[in-house]
Amino acid sequence: MFFQAPEDYAQNYVIGSFLRCIRYVNSLIALLLPGFYISITTFHQEMIPTLLAITIIRSKAEVPFPTSTSIIFMLLAFEVLIEAGFRLPRTIGQTISIIGALVVGQAAVQAKIISPVVVIIIALTGMAGFTMPNQDFANALRIYRLLFVLCATIAGLYGLGLGFLLLVYHLNTIETFGVPYFSPFVANEGRDITKDTIIRAPLHLMKKRPSSLKTTNKKRQG
Amino acid sequence: MRKVIVFSMITLLLISFTGCKKSFLPESREIDDLQLVQVIGIDMLPNGSHSFLITIASKNLAEESSQVSSGSTDEESTGSKGKKALVLSSEGDTIFDAVRKLQTHSDKTLFWGHSYYYLIGEEAARDNISKCIDFFTRDHELRVESKIYIIKGSTAKDLIEQFNQSSYYILDKLDSLGKNIKLLSKSEEMKIHELMRFLDIHHASARIPCIYLVDRDKEREKKIKDIDTCGYAIFSDLKLVGFIDTDISRGLNLITNTVNSSIVAVKDMTGQDVSLEIINSKTEVIPFFNGDNLERILLKTKVVSNLGEIQSQIDFANESYISYIESRQSEVLKNEMEEVLKKVLEFRSDCLEICDRIRLKRPLKWRKIEDKWMQIFPNIKFDIQVESKVKGTYELKEPSGYKWRE
């Protein structure tokens, strides 16, 4: 339900499905990318292609902080920026984002306090987080992202996997007004799984309402 | 409450069953504390003490960043500065010993997961090849995908250090060599897991591609050291017994079906040169048995080539000319194959994958002769048949100047 934007239904189903696929991938990026970066650079260096590894080493050569510290610092700074942008009037809000992103970011990179690769990672994560159509879901991703960063700092990919397992367990136990959080993936013996999830099927195949909602009127309007 | 208990139980179980003995959690290290080892040279010290000498090369990151910041390349350089690679070497009774000693005089943690090439010195190869590769295949950090070369005529340390005087990084050079090897098909690339399989299947014989240091002229009388491929090193009973040079090593590639492309230069009726480009070749190994005895082996090679260059000005688009060129090509290739076979039989090394081919062709008969294969092998009679076909002559029908000649 959190990946469905209203315009999906107004556009051709090919475009709707494509955008939705992107949203699913983006949610994973927003959730896992900082943690994944920490785990491969501090635990599993053999996973990085050699040339990329050399680039990362070179960019991080004179940066004093460990990767995890700089990632956590940048994530928090990013949240601060968003919050500052919200509170200020719209005209000044833009100034804040320019100062924050360009001036502080650029200066931090040039002063070798933060490696440029970390900035890229945080930027990617932030952008991916903004593509979520549902603000509550985006907020949840922001919080869990920090938890995953902690998991990865402690135990690398293993910690990341462990955290993900616990998260999936947690999400599976949630019900909202009797509807499972993961429906239609977990409810109804997978009946609606192909219709309105990763792929937005053509409208003529979606005449009925999702059965997990247990509506009295089974048909969609219109 | 129930949820909290389940949650903490899962976490506890997962953390305590990681399989790590020393601590619960894996060990972490920052990526910039690592020095990525990319080329490893293995030598044996010549004094008969059976000690190993390990030389490693990794990209010199300090050199490049200082160049970028200062903006000039011809600065006064001292020590490792100005070189493309950081080279370290150390001695030890075994390879593992030498590797550990290497770590103690390096300021960064040596990381072996990105090693791409093993260069084995001639001396070490003459002693025993499996001694050289055992550590590298057993250790978990190193990759079995890495490629292996034998250094002909010098030690690996010499090669790495001398090449480092030039303006190229040794890994880039080896990469480009490996890419271009297919164009001549006079050698090949070999990964270390292929070598392991080869040694096991082919009765401890093997062929490993060779490289050597050459002087190359560049920029007005300035000689630079360069690396080039030079055929194969042949192993018998895990020891290096001899080399097959580039003048005949294409024969080996033909027999083992590893020719991608190659240029054959032959003379035509007028005595001028003609270049043929091999585009396809296939050799079939056909064993002939008399009862359970292997009588003879027929190597039947089919080569398809294109006519790429003609230096004479005669009309070549007729059957007699083409068939003459074909026969000349067959003759040249047959000669190379015969020379290779002669050498290989003399070395008593089944590096041509003959036994594997017999096993695939006649599995039941092979089982009868499997145990005494190395006694049979040097005395087998080999027949070679080469069948050439010139397929195309590209766009030009007649060479330039043909009309004028008439």
User: Which chain B residue lies closest to A169 (C-alpha atoms)?
Assistant: B7
Q: Contact B36/A53, CB-based, under 8 Å? A: yes
Question: What does the pLDDT read at residue B70?
Answer: 39
Q: Which residues of A touch B147 (CB under 8 A)?
A: none
Q: Which residues of B touch A63 (CB under 8 A)?
A: 32
Q: Contact A56/B31, CB-based, under 8 Å? A: yes
Q: Which of A41, A45, A159 sits opposite B113 (nearest CB)?
A: A45
For the purposes of burial, counting CB atoms within 10 Å of the CB of B365, is it exposed (0-12), middle (13-18) or buried (19 or more)? middle
| CATH number, position B304 | 3.30.300.210
Could you give the CA distance from residue A202 to residue A16 in angstroms, rounded to a whole number? 9
Note whether residue B8 is domain-resident. Answer: no
Could you report the per-residue pLDDT of B156-186, keeping only the tens digit for each? 998 988 888 888 888 888 999 988 888 888 8
Note whether residue A64 is domain-resident. Answer: yes
Note whether residue A76 is domain-resident. Answer: yes
Could you give the CA distance from residue A142 to residue A156 in angstroms, rounded to a whole number? 20
Q: Which of B3, B26, B111 sits opposite A45 (nearest CB)?
A: B111
B260 and B395 housed in the same domain: yes
Question: What does the pLDDT read at residue B23?
Answer: 65
Note whether residue A53 is domain-resident. Answer: yes
- Examine the pLDDT at B206 and tell me if it is beyond 70: yes
Separation in Å, CA of B165 to nearest CA in chain A: 22
∠ Cα A88 A92 A95 (to 5°): 120
User: Which chain A residue lies closest to B27 (C-alpha atoms)?
Assistant: A43
Note whether residue A66 is domain-resident. Answer: yes
Q: Contact B61/A57, CB-based, under 8 Å? A: yes
Note whether residue B12 is domain-resident. Answer: no
Please identify, among B246, B265, B295, the residue that sits at the C-terminal boundary of a domain.
Answer: B246
B173 and B282 housed in the same domain: no
Could you give the CA distance from residue A149 to residue A156 in angstroms, rounded to a whole number? 9
C-beta separation of B355 from B202 below 8 A: yes
User: Which chain B residue lies closest to A153 (C-alpha atoms)?
Assistant: B28
Note whether residue B167 is domain-resident. Answer: yes
The residue of B1, B32, B107 whose CB has the most chain A CBs within 10 angstroms, and thus the best one to mutate to test that interface, is B32
Q: Which residues of B touch A175 (CB under 8 A)?
A: none
C-beta separation of B397 from B317 below 8 A: yes
**Mean pLDDT over the full length of chain B:** 84
Residue B147 banded pLDDT, cuts 50, 70, 90: very high
Could you report the per-residue pLDDT of B268-322, keeping only the tens digit for each? 888 888 899 999 999 999 999 888 888 889 999 999 999 888 888 777 778 888 8
Q: Which residues of B touch A170 (CB under 8 A)?
A: 7
Note whether residue A98 is domain-resident. Answer: yes
B280 and B365 housed in the same domain: yes
Q: Which of A42, A46, A50 sits opposite B28 (nearest CB)?
A: A42
**Mean pLDDT over the full length of chain A:** 86
Q: Contact B65/A41, CB-based, under 8 Å? A: no
Q: Contact B114/A50, CB-based, under 8 Å? A: yes
B135 and B191 housed in the same domain: yes
Separation in Å, CA of A55 to nearest CA in chain B: 9
B326 vs A81, which has greater pLDDT?
B326
CB neighbour list of residue A69: distance below 8 Å, 6 or more residues apart: none
Question: What does the pLDDT read at residue B406?
Answer: 52
Note whether residue A28 is domain-resident. Answer: yes
CB neighbour list of residue A33: distance below 8 Å, 6 or more residues apart: A121, A124, A125, A128
B393 and B258 housed in the same domain: yes
Q: Contact B25/A155, CB-based, under 8 Å? A: yes
**Number of domains chain A contains:** 1
Range of the domain at A22: 7-173
Note whether residue B22 is domain-resident. Answer: no
Q: Contact A158/B18, CB-based, under 8 Å? A: yes
User: What is the average per-residue pLDDT within A209-215?
Assistant: 77
pTM for the complete prediction? 0.82
For the purposes of burial, counting CB atoms within 10 Å of the CB of B265, is it exposed (0-12), middle (13-18) or buried (19 or more)? middle
B386 and B403 housed in the same domain: yes
Note whether residue B19 is domain-resident. Answer: no
Q: Which of B7, B14, B30 sits opposite A66 (nearest CB)?
A: B30
Query: Which residue numbers of B have CB closer than 8 Å to A's CBs?
Result: 3, 6-7, 10-11, 14-15, 18, 25-32, 34, 36, 38, 59, 61, 64-65, 111, 113-114, 116, 141, 143
Question: What does the pLDDT read at residue A222?
Answer: 63
B49 and B192 housed in the same domain: yes
User: Which chain A residue lies closest to B26 (C-alpha atoms)?
Assistant: A155
Global ipTM:
0.75
Q: Which residues of A touch B113 (CB under 8 A)?
A: 45-46
> For residue A183, what is the enclosing H or E element?
none
**A-B C-beta contacts closer than 8 Å:** 76
- Examine the pLDDT at A213 and tell me if it is beyond 80: no
ω into residue A184 within 30 of 0, thus cis? yes
Q: Contact A42/B141, CB-based, under 8 Å? A: no
Could you report the per-residue pLDDT of B96-121, keeping only the tens digit for each? 999 888 888 788 888 888 899 999 99
Residue B30 banded pLDDT, cuts 50, 70, 90: confident
User: What is the average per-residue pLDDT within A210-221?
Assistant: 79
Closest CA to B107 of B173, B61, B46: B61
User: Which chain B residue lies closest to A67 (C-alpha atoms)?
Assistant: B30
Please identify, among B181, B215, B246, the residue that sits at the C-terminal boundary of a domain.
Answer: B246
B116 and B230 housed in the same domain: yes
Q: Which of B14, B31, B143 sits opposite A162 (nearest CB)?
A: B14
Question: What does the pLDDT read at residue A145?
Answer: 93
Range of the domain at B344: 248-406
Q: Which residues of B touch A54 (CB under 8 A)?
A: 36, 59, 61
Note whether residue A222 is domain-resident. Answer: no
% of chain B beyond a pLDDT of 70: 90
B127 and B176 housed in the same domain: yes
Could you report the per-residue pLDDT of B313-366, keeping only the tens digit for each? 777 778 888 899 899 999 999 999 999 999 998 888 888 888 888 889 989 988
Note whether residue B20 is domain-resident. Answer: no
Please identify, among B187, B217, B246, the residue that sits at the C-terminal boundary of a domain.
Answer: B246
User: What is the average per-residue pLDDT within B109-135?
Assistant: 89
User: What is the average per-residue pLDDT within B177-197?
Assistant: 88
Q: Contact A45/B11, CB-based, under 8 Å? A: no
**Number of domains chain B contains:** 2
User: What is the average per-residue pLDDT within B188-198?
Assistant: 90
Note whether residue B26 is domain-resident. Answer: no
Q: 3-class secondary structure for B68-129?
A: HHHCCCCCCCCCCCCCCEEEEEEEECCHHHHHHHHHHCCCCEEECCCCCEEEECHHHHHHCH
Note whether residue A189 is domain-resident. Answer: no
User: What is the average per-residue pLDDT within B71-87?
Assistant: 55
User: What is the average per-residue pLDDT within B217-239?
Assistant: 81
Q: Which amino acid is at B97?
A: D
B265 and B349 housed in the same domain: yes
B269 and B212 housed in the same domain: no
The residue of B14, B18, B31 whose CB has the most chain A CBs within 10 angstroms, and thus the best one to mutate to test that interface, is B31
B165 and B139 housed in the same domain: yes
Could you report the per-residue pLDDT of A3-18, keeping only the tens digit for each? 888 888 888 889 989 9
Note whether residue B353 is domain-resident. Answer: yes
